[in-house]
């Protein structure tokens, strides 16, 4: 196969793999963007703060299903194949999208409305539990030698496209509808748009080819059963623990600088809604640039250096930057602050995702990645908007989310130090003597 043809095939495989990943994050984004409107129509309580907290808690509850989805769907992916597993996760995800898009309001069906919204979020969380791990595993196994960081980074980069699309729709809604119309029914339009994408995403997922690495193990009858997968995960619990520490920072930071931005900009900074959506678009675009750039850089200089540097700088600057922002809120300051955070997020995330695929034993790569990623998301990420809202309210400090971000940066910095000291992550470029990553055993950690 000629080099141009090879590149075209690989680009097509990346697009088909990340398509469903786009839908997963798109729906998470629009829920967070319109949490206030969903709170008013689905969680009315007579208290604006309480309704918003109920909406954000429902957003976070979906993440609690991620660990279960990681084990069930991750095991399916490791046992049945990357392609089949990604199609299954997309099917469950689509059901959750449709349920949220078309659930009648609380005023129409009463308490059934928030229950259906909750079920939709649980379905999304279950499917998302293995989506990121499955896509990252697929990309790591099709990546050319020496370019794994760049290829795997597109798992996260594709999610940034969803941020941009959701922001564009948000701007369009606020330009074409009144604030009252957006609050009452306009917020459904982004969900309906996501529903319309489902048939196309099914099509591209069905044309996905199985990875050669998995096909080779399947041919040799080396694919593990569920019991073997769970036993192997138990044997590698130290690696799973280190991975969870690494994911903590990205779990909080992503949702803080994307999902939470419109609510923070409107409620706390008292900026126009359209300003927050423009900033969200800029953050998504910035993330899209920095994540693959840093993934590629990590292929050259090593994963460990970037993990240490980015988590340290985030920990030092998070609160001061937030203090500067809230001292004199403006569109310019919000844009500047979040673009700074975006650069640091991209520097960390572009390296972290490929690090997780390299840490995990090959025969349980999808499950191990998914379990670690989903546990951190369930504990930290999904509840970050609620935690940020609660901290602002509790401490009467609009900059309080910066404290939360700094705390999670310290946790992940500790994880990076442990990973480097234990030999799981290298400070220098990773050696790749073969296409099969080294399988770490407990004794090596």
| 129 touches 65 (CB < 8 A) | yes
pLDDT of residue 380: 81
- 418-435 average pLDDT score: 74
Positive/negative CA dihedral, 416, 421, 423, 428: positive
pLDDT of residue 435: 40
Enumerate helices (H) and strands (E) in the chain, giving the number of each: 20, 0
Q: What is the CATH number of the domain that holds 108?
A: 1.20.1250.20
| 246 touches 415 (CB < 8 A) | yes
DSSP 423: T
Backbone angle region of 204, left / alpha / beta, with phi > 0 → left and psi within -120 to 50 → alpha? alpha
pLDDT of residue 224: 60
| 223 touches 363 (CB < 8 A) | yes
- 306-324 average pLDDT score: 97
Round the average pLDDT of the chain to a whole number and report it.
83
- Bigger pLDDT: 439 or 307? 307
What domain range includes position 321? 3-208+215-444
d(CA 26, CA 124): 11
Positive/negative CA dihedral, 215, 374, 153, 149: negative
d(CA 125, CA 117): 12
- 140-157 average pLDDT score: 86
Which residues lie closer than 8 Å to 87 by C-beta, 6 or more apart?
Answer: 202, 205, 206, 208
d(CA 317, CA 313): 6
d(CA 250, CA 257): 11
Cα–Cα distance list, 327 to 319, 356, 397 (Å):
12, 38, 11
pLDDT of residue 375: 85
Q: Which two tokens stand for residue 399?
A: 């900059």
Positive/negative CA dihedral, 337, 343, 347, 353: positive
Domain count, the chain: 1
pLDDT of residue 294: 94
Cα–Cα distance list, 86 to 80, 98, 127, 153 (Å):
11, 19, 9, 18
d(CA 286, CA 281): 9
| Confidence grade of residue 57 (pLDDT, cut at 50, 70, 90) | confident
| Confidence grade of residue 147 (pLDDT, cut at 50, 70, 90) | confident
Which residues lie closer than 8 Å to 136 by C-beta, 6 or more apart?
Answer: 152, 155, 353, 354, 356, 357, 369
d(CA 133, CA 21): 10
pLDDT of residue 219: 63
d(CA 394, CA 409): 22
pLDDT of residue 441: 45
- 199-207 average pLDDT score: 81
d(CA 306, CA 246): 12
| 120 touches 68 (CB < 8 A) | no
């Amino acid at each position: 196969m000629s080099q141009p043809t090879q590149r075209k095939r690989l680009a097509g495989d990346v697009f088909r793999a990340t398509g469903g990943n786009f839908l997963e994050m798109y729906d998470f984004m629009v829920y967070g963007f319109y949490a206030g409107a969903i709170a008013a129509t689905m969680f009315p309580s007579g208290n604006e703060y309480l309704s918003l907290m109920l909406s954000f808690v429902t957003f976070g509850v979906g993440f609690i299903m991620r660990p279960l989805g990681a084990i069930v769907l991750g095991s399916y992916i490791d046992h049945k194949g990357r392609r089949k597993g990604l199609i299954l996760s997309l099917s469950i995800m689509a059901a959750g999208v449709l349920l949220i898009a078309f659930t009648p309001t609380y005023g129409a069906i009463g308490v059934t409305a928030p229950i259906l919204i909750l079920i939709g979020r649980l379905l999304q969380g279950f499917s998302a539990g293995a989506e990121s791990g499955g896509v990252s595993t697929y990309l790591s196994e099709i990546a050319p030698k020496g370019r794994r960081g760049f290829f795997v980074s597109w798992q996260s980069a594709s999610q940034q496209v969803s941020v941009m699309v959701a922001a564009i729709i948000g701007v369009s809604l606020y330009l074409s509808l009144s604030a009252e119309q957006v609050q009452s029914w306009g917020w459904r339009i982004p969900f309906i748009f996501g529903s319309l994408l489902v048939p196309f995403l099914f099509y591209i997922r069905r044309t996905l080819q199985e990875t050669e690495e998995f096909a080779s193990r399947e041919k040799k009858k080396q694919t593990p059963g569920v019991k073997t997968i769970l036993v192997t995960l138990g044997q590698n619990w130290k690696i799973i623990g280190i991975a969870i520490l690494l994911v903590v920072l990205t779990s909080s930071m992503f949702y803080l600088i994307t999902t939470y931005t419109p609510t923070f900009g409107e409620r706390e900074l008292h900026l126009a809604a359209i300003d927050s959506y423009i900033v969200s678009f800029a953050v998504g675009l910035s993330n899209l640039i920095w994540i693959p750039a840093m993934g590629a850089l990590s292929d050259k200089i090593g994963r460990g250096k970037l993990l240490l540097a980015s988590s340290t700088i985030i920990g030092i600057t998070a609160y001061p930057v937030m203090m500067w922002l809230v001292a004199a809120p403006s569109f310019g300051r919000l844009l500047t602050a979040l673009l700074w955070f975006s650069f640091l997020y991209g520097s960390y995330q572009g390296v972290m995702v490929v690090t997780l695929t390299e840490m995990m034993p090959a025969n349980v790569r999808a499950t191990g990645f998914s379990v670690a990623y989903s546990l951190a998301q369930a504990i930290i990420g999904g509840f970050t908007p609620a935690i940020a809202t609660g901290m602002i309210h509790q401490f009467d400090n609009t900059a309080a989310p910066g404290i939360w971000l700094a705390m999670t940066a310290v946790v992940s910095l500790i994880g990076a130090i442990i990973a480097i000291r234990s030999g799981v992550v290298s400070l220098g470029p990773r050696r790749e003597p073969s296409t099969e990553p080294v399988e770490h055993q407990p004794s090596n950690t």
